[in-house]
Structure 1
């Protein structure tokens, strides 16, 4: 039976991963900062072995008191748009990751799963495979790619199975309030209109519960080391998604499309080809988009 360490377990993605793994009977160790709010894990917090990072940032000595054969690294400093070009903050992620690898070596970890990002590809305007050339356009993407090279070398030297997941757009319950859906709901309940671009960008929006199910398969199955896209299998324009939300939350709300210009270098079609990962874990059953969106909106409207 697998035992998995999850970094970033108190976050949007990490908490959903933990919930699914626990439901599969997989033991979970959660690494967090002392002052982290564990509200996303409230319903299953007693089933997690919690490990706190010390005030000085140290955690290796705490981790080595626990045994696990797999690491899911989802923690990351500076995911917000305003922080993505903060090199000083972004580089802290490299130091943290190297320390995590030291713990992995001591505990003879067999598999490391790292949550990368579609941002590593740079500007995207089509459905792309993992062979698409990387092009880091900010500190966030560059630091992710630096960690990828470190992971490949470290894993090769220490005979570790490494899985790098380039994650595309995800939506669902328990996001931070400044992300698209919760922030849009807030605007629809407190304002009369919002100015937007034309909203023609096409994104493959993956429901977070589907993402967590994919992660469970990657943990359980024997996967070849490598880079894998994680994406929905269908695209929707931002305009259509916003209109779907409006029709449920506040049909009278005005979405003023075309009032703003696209930013320079705007990606207009962001979708990852999933054939490579499905060849490893089998066919993926994606949730019905309308049902997933309704469930997501119901969650935020209750809040």
Structure 2
């Protein structure tokens, strides 16, 4: 059986990926922001509350080996914060923490999705060949 660890499973993308993976029979460990829970339960689903700034403290709670880690936990994702250097620097630290977290847990595959916002405003159809222009 495949196992997935989802960091930030209570957001829009994380919640929907969690549902999809469960429908596919994948066992999911959903790391959710403290105080927030997903709206559903499933026999293949485990919740762990965490703070992004304290991710390494979550490691002892994770007792199984996972095939993939999906990282959806970011701060300041609205366009109001895109020029906030301190906040974006913190996001860079968080992604570094997530990669170290995955290494500690011996997870070989890490997926960190982005959005079309990384390409800025464009009159053309955005493809993987476009140059990022956040």
Q: TM-score, normalised by structure 2?
A: 0.84
Greater per-residue helix proportion: 1
User: Which of residues 71, 74, 78 in structure 2 aligns to 1:73?
Assistant: 71
Match of 1:50 in 2: 47
Match of 1:90 in 2: 88
Question: 3-state SS of the aligned residue for 2:53?
Answer: coil
Q: TM-score, normalised by structure 1?
A: 0.40
Checking the alignment, whether the CA contact within 8 Å between 1:52 and 1:59 is kept in structure 2 is no
Cα distance between partner residues in 2 of 1:120 and 1:81: 11
Checking the alignment, whether the CA contact within 8 Å between 1:74 and 1:115 is kept in structure 2 is yes
Structure 1 unpaired stretches of 5+: 137-303
CA offset digits 1:144-171 (Å, max 9, x no partner): xxxxxxxxxxxxxxxxxxxxxxxxxxxx
Cα gap change, 1:69/1:24 in structure 2, threshold over 3 Å: closer, same or farther?
same
CA offset digits 1:246-298 (Å, max 9, x no partner): xxxxxxxxxxxxxxxxxxxxxxxxxxxxxxxxxxxxxxxxxxxxxxxxxxxxx
Cα distance between partner residues in 2 of 1:24 and 1:46: 13
Q: How does 1:223-242 map to 2 (within 5 A)?
A: none
Measured after TM superposition, the shift of residue 57 of structure 1 is 2.9
Q: How does 1:132-143 map to 2 (within 5 A)?
A: 132-136=130-134
Question: Relative contact order (C-alpha < 8 Å, sep 6+): which is higher?
Answer: 2
Measured after TM superposition, the shift of residue 47 of structure 1 is 4.2
Cα distance between partner residues in 2 of 1:32 and 1:108: 21
Figure out how many residues of one structure are paired with residues of the other and give that number.
Answer: 132
Question: 3-state SS of the aligned residue for 1:115?
Answer: coil
Structure 2 unpaired stretches of 5+: none
Checking the alignment, whether the CA contact within 8 Å between 1:22 and 1:28 is kept in structure 2 is yes
CA offset digits 1:68-99 (Å, max 9, x no partner): 12011111111223223222222221111111
Is 1:27 the equivalent of 2:23?
no
Q: What RMSD over aligned residues (CA atoms) do the two structures have, in Å?
A: 2.1
Cα distance between partner residues in 2 of 1:72 and 1:118: 18
Name the larger-Rg structure: 1
State the 4+ residue runs in structure 1 displaced beyond 3 angstroms.
none
Question: 3-state SS of the aligned residue for 2:113?
Answer: strand
